[in-house]
Amino acid sequence: MSIKENIRNEKRYERSLLSEAHIARLSDNFLSQWIKFSKELSYQSIGIYYPFDNEASTFEIMKYLHSKNKDVLLPVIENDLKTLSFAKYDIQSKLLKNHFGIFEPKEKEFVDIKDIDIVLIPCVAFNDKLFRLGMGGGFYDRTFSKKSSTILIGVAYSFQYESETFQEEHDVKMDYVITQKGVLK
């Protein structure tokens, strides 16, 4: 088993132990960190993931962004290219599960990647070099392999920190990683 597979299995197991109540409490902490941190950023459009498999919850951040009239976008998997596109999402949007079981907007009004100011990206693990380990599909890495002005922010629980070096040449570095305890820059 590779280093990445070992880390992925270990961190996903730890994440699976979180109760819904604990995730909900941590969601408020993520919102607090986001509100403090986002004051440093200038943005209108933000790609954000719909949490899956006990990922760090972004629900409170989504509500906050909608209250601030930000353009909230959810990733949509493009099967043939194995990349992501981003579609507009609001509170009234109908959602459907894709073949991975992840919610995507039913009505897809796409926004060009280059027009997205910030993308919050789920992490299975992260390190102090600001690399993230995802679920293993490489969708975010392929989508953002050509660096643009889009700010990439990994979102993870603090226990998902990994001291072991795991990044490879094709992995895309985050600009920041936000946890329930703070922001790595």
User: Between the CA atoms of 160, 161, 165 and 168, what dihedral angle is there, to the nearest 10 degrees?
Assistant: 50
Q: State the DSSP string of 122-178.
A: E-SEE-TTSBEE-SSS-HHHHHTSS--SPEEEEE--GGGB--S----TTPPBPSEEE
Q: How are the residues of the chain apportioned to helix, strand and coil, as percentages rounded to the nearest 5?
A: 30, 25, 45
User: Between the CA atoms of 143, 61, 52 and 157, what dihedral angle is there, to the nearest 10 degrees?
Assistant: 90
Sign of CA dihedral 123, 85, 58, 14: negative
Position 78 scores a pLDDT of: 75
Position 135 scores a pLDDT of: 93
Position 82 scores a pLDDT of: 85
**CATH code, residues 3-184:** 3.40.50.10420
Cα–Cα distance, 27 to 41 (Å, whole number): 21
Mean pLDDT by 10 residues, the chain (185 residues): 92 96 93 95 97 95 96 89 92 91 93 96 97 94 89 97 93 97 95
> Distance of alpha carbon 112 from its chain centroid, rounded?
18
The answer to whether the beta carbons of residues 131 and 171 sit under 8 Å apart is yes
Place of tokens 């440093």: 40
Q: What is the pTM of this model?
A: 0.95
Position 72 scores a pLDDT of: 98
Single-letter amino acid, residue 59: F
The count of C-alpha atoms lying within 13 angstroms of the C-alpha of 164, restricted to the half-sphere facing its C-beta, is 13
CB atoms within 10 A of CB 26: 19
